[in-house]
Chain A
């Protein structure tokens, strides 16, 4: 029973309820850091760390957090882990830390983390919450890695900084600039939604509108007021 639940959680977060292309959460960093594969890997590692551990912490403390200020407490827990990530990156890989710039700090306001803490960790036991956090981090990561791979390949003809396409390849500069990110993510969502969600067309049309229209902000609106 328990293992079934773990598997179900992982399946939901990586596939059918993927934070990026189904729930459309955490888009800021999805677009911002995917121009170079190396930065993306670092960012994803940071995000998986923060989602997993903040979910775990919130879940352990869930009985002691007063309902009215829970958003603030969750934000502080997340911020504490983000500071750890930031300090570690600054110490060991300062180059990448500088390139990522403010986006490491912006993990705090990444809706995925807040969403998981709010929707899952507050009502589930610690281990399950840890698995939930890690798997939604992974669900986010593999989408980012695919997008980053394509953007770096098309934008600079390289993978991980090594040029793989020969001199015949003309770099699509647009791919490493802002518009390329938007188009690439839109294409990704189109491919996934068009190919894998067709069978649920009538059923998913309305939930899709709802899920696109209300990321966890409405929940937070209730929590804050």
Chain B
């Protein structure tokens, strides 16, 4: 299989068969907290796609050109989290200057992203699975898109749920969201076998 084709496979696998939220449970905190309205979910989803793609690329470069040559791989957690925090802060400052509309749409979500475990998780999975640069990029973008699809779908379901469903008291809030997430995970299992990546 050629390099490009493999990266393409990784991209789709990250969205469907290995969805970072529904099979690896990453980013659950913001998923449970923010999935109440479709509009905010779309905003957060877009911010995650952007940050995850860029940080995977930066972290890939740092991992293979700084950490591995100097044999300080054990420092990867600190390196990755600093990259993510710094990148998020930088992006926030840049879009604040450049575009008011974009800042209004994404600005408030950016600080939330530093503590989103999906971002760090994507980088860690990327180095554990030893992706090449191109597949790493595809994996970062695919995971971000997969996460966004999951949270937007969940927000749609919860919006309907609020209108006409009677949820037992014990299940209100987090409980019912987890049940729905479970059903969504079952649905996504239907994609399994389409593409397999290691």
Question: What are 23 A-B contacts defined by CB distance under 8 Å?
Answer: A27-B25, A32-B24, A79-B78, A79-B81, A83-B77, A102-B128, A105-B120, A110-B117, A178-B25, A179-B183, A185-B178, A186-B178, A186-B179, A190-B170, A191-B170, A194-B169, A194-B171, A212-B32, A214-B33, A215-B33, A216-B115, A217-B115, A220-B112
Q: Could you list which residues of chain A lie within 8 angstroms of chain B, going by C-beta atoms?
A: 24-29, 31-32, 71-72, 75-76, 79-80, 82-83, 86-87, 101-102, 105-106, 108-111, 114, 174, 177-183, 185-186, 189-195, 197-198, 201, 205, 208-209, 212-217, 220-221, 223-225
Which residues of the partner chain B approach A101 to less than 8 Å between Cβ atoms? 124-125, 128
Chain A nearest CB from B30 CB (Å) reads: 7
Which residues of the partner chain B approach A182 to less than 8 Å between Cβ atoms? 178-179, 181-182, 185
Q: Beyond A86-B77, A190-B175, list 15 extra A-B contacts (CB 8 Å).
A: A27-B32, A101-B124, A105-B120, A109-B116, A114-B115, A182-B179, A183-B178, A183-B179, A189-B174, A205-B172, A212-B173, A213-B36, A217-B29, A217-B33, A221-B111
Which residue of A102, A114, A192 contacts B124 across the interface (Cβ within 8 Å)? A102
Which residues of the partner chain B approach A111 to less than 8 Å between Cβ atoms? 29, 115
Q: Are A193 and B175 in contact (CB under 8 A)?
A: yes
Give the interface SS of chain A, mostly helix, strand, loop or mixed.
Answer: helix
| Residue interface bits B86-112, CB-to-A below 8 A is 1, else 0 | 001100100000000000000010011
Chain B nearest CB from A76 CB (Å) reads: 7
Number of interface residues of B (CB under 8 A): 53
Q: Are A79 and B77 in contact (CB under 8 A)?
A: yes
Which residues of the partner chain B approach A83 to less than 8 Å between Cβ atoms? 74-75, 77-78
Which residue of A27, A79, A186 contacts B171 across the interface (Cβ within 8 Å)? A186
Chain B nearest CB from A153 CB (Å) reads: 19
Q: Are B111 and A225 in contact (CB under 8 A)?
A: yes
Q: Are B28 and A27 in contact (CB under 8 A)?
A: yes
In the complex, residue of chain B having the shortest beta-carbon distance to the beta carbon of A109 = B117
Q: Does B10 contact A (CB under 8 A)?
A: no
| Residue interface bits B108-135, CB-to-A below 8 A is 1, else 0 | 1001101111001100110010000000
Chain B nearest CB from A70 CB (Å) reads: 12
Q: Are A28 and B26 in contact (CB under 8 A)?
A: yes
Chain B nearest CB from A26 CB (Å) reads: 8
Q: Does B22 contact A (CB under 8 A)?
A: yes
Do A217 and B112 form a contact, CB below 8 Å, given A79-B78, A181-B25? Answer: yes
In the complex, residue of chain A having the shortest beta-carbon distance to the beta carbon of B89 = A224
